[in-house]
Amino acid sequence: MGRVSYIPLQGLIYVVMAFIAAAGCGRPITTSGTVVATDLREQGAGNARMETRGEDKRLKVATFGAGCFWCVEAMFQQLNGVEKVVSGYSGGSVANPTYEQVCTGTTGHAEVSQITYDPEGISYAQLLEVFWKTHDPTTRNRQGNDIGPQYRSVIFYHDEDQKRLAEGYKAKLEAEHIWDRPIVTEIVPFDRFWPAEDYHQNYYVNNPDKGYCRVVITPKVEKFRKVFRDELKQK
The angle, 0 to 180 degrees and rounded to 10, between the axes of the packed helices 69-76 and 218-227 is 30
Annotated catalytic residue, options 25, 68, 71, 213: 68
Cα–Cα dist 191/14, whole Å: 32
User: Which residues, 6 or more positions from 109, have their beta carbon under 8 angstroms from its beta carbon?
Assistant: 89, 90, 91, 92, 94, 97, 102, 150, 194
Q: 103 catalytic, yes or no?
A: no
Cα–Cα dist 50/230, whole Å: 29
Cα–Cα dist 13/35, whole Å: 34
Cα–Cα dist 90/139, whole Å: 19
Closest to 67 (Cα-Cα) out of 128, 144, 4: 144
H or E element, residue 12: strand 12-15
Cα–Cα dist 217/222, whole Å: 9
* CA 171 vs CA 93, 144, 210: distances in Å: 29, 24, 38
Catalytic residue numbers, as ranges: 68
